[in-house]
Amino acid sequence: MNSFGQKLRFSTFGESHGTALGCVLDGVPAGLEIDEAFIQNELDRRKPGKSEFETARKEADKVEILSGVFEGKSTGTPIAMVIYNTNQKSKDYSNIKDVFRPGHADFTYFHKYGLRDYRGGGRSSARETAARVAAGAIAKLMLKELDVEVLSGISEVAGIKAEKFNYAGVKDSIIYALDSDVEQAQKDAILEAKKRHDSVGGVSRVVVKNAPIGLGQPLYYKLDGVLADAMMGINAVKAVEIGDGCLSAKTLGSQNNDQIRANGFESNHSGGILGGISNGDDIVLNVYFKPTPSIFQEQHTITTTNEEVDFSLKGRHDPCVAIRGTIVCEAMAALVIADMVLLNMGSKMDGVVKYYK
């Protein structure tokens, strides 16, 4: 579980090659219309096996709501959802039963717990993120009621940057830059790496539009800190920037400050957050994904009994995890923002009175 969850408590269960995955989302206010088709559509955007840019594992990722919804509306009680695994093919993993895949969680899980579910990485597989997307879809439905929208797109693949790209950015699982030459170069980089039995990294740009001023706490529950934690909790994420991020360490105060006019900020280097609190501008994040660790080239590793071996992996893997990871970033951002919205209902006395009277 991530550090958000003061009002919206969320956890997931399940393994990649077990029976099912799912989540429990508690704290959703009663009376929210639960659009099941919307939730399924969000899962469809993330599900594996849709194109050559993704793992070949085909899963329908059909979501079933088990509790917390009655006659199409949330009841204010925990919402539990389940997604059954149908295409596990666990035998693909028999050759890594006793060896650690470089770059994956095998080594650390084994040393921490003394055993590991080696089938597809078990709990460490990003298949778990399907459950996050289901919960995130409900957070998005809540935010829709406030006209707040969470969008994302792939801004960079293998170091190839799209300065202009569409925020609905992943269409039918492929990158969707506005500049078609950049999009083609990014796609080529993925397929080229795949052909060489290798993988590439990428960057997801996440934007929260129309967030109200005042989300986040000035200390210890800062919006930027909580968002960064939520993003870093996604498999393969190695860095998160808010607004200009790393660039702001290289610029002058006169360049980095967002000057203010009566109708708003003149720029948005801050990424919509000042002092841990949203300023009403777009909240902008860059989320950096490493290249997929499971590659099909021969690599050095060790066995669980510390023997050195050279091994080659088999199986089905994403050549660039950012492509589907960007949908997970949206889900996690939506959960954080929804939690902050609910928390904020208690930050002004007149709001509390209006709510309870």
Binding-site positions read: 46, 123-125, 235-236, 275, 290-294, 316
Q: How far is the CB of 17 from ligand EPS (least distance, A)?
A: 6
| Alpha-carbon 21 to chain mean position | 16
Binding mask 107-146 for ligand FMN (x = CB under 6 A): -----------------xxx--x-----------------
* Binding flag, residue 55, ligand EPS (CB under 6 A): yes
Binding mask 165-204 for ligand FMN (x = CB under 6 A): ----------------------------------------
Q: How far is the CB of 44 from ligand EPS (least distance, A)?
A: 12
Judge whether 207 and 167 are in contact, CB under 8 Å: yes
Residue 105 binds which entry of ligand FMN, ligand EPS, none, CB below 5-8 Å type-dependent: ligand FMN
Binding mask 128-147 for ligand EPS (x = CB under 6 A): --x-----------------
The rounded distance, in Å, linking the Cα atoms of 231 and 224 is: 11
The rounded distance, in Å, linking the Cα atoms of 122 and 14 is: 8
| 112-131 positions binding ligand EPS, by CB under 6 A | 120-121, 125-127, 130
| 263-322 positions binding ligand FMN, by CB under 6 A | 290, 292-294, 317-318, 321
Judge whether 78 and 26 are in contact, CB under 8 Å: yes
Number of residues that bind ligand EPS (CB under 6 A): 16
Burial class from Cβ neighbours inside 10 Å (0-12, 13-18, 19+) for residue 254 reads exposed
The helix/strand/coil state of 75 is: coil
Residue for token digits 């929210």?
A: 32
The rounded distance, in Å, linking the Cα atoms of 75 and 26 is: 11
Residue 243 binds which entry of ligand EPS, ligand FMN, none, CB below 5-8 Å type-dependent: none
Determine how β-strand 9-14 pairs with β-strand 73-74.
unpaired
Cβ-closest position to ligand EPS:
120
Determine how β-strand 73-74 pairs with β-strand 165-171.
unpaired
**What are the phi and psi torsion angles at 258 (to 5°)?**
-95, 105
Q: Give the binding site for ligand EPS (CB under 6 A).
A: 16-17, 48, 55, 57, 59, 120-121, 125-127, 130, 235, 315-317
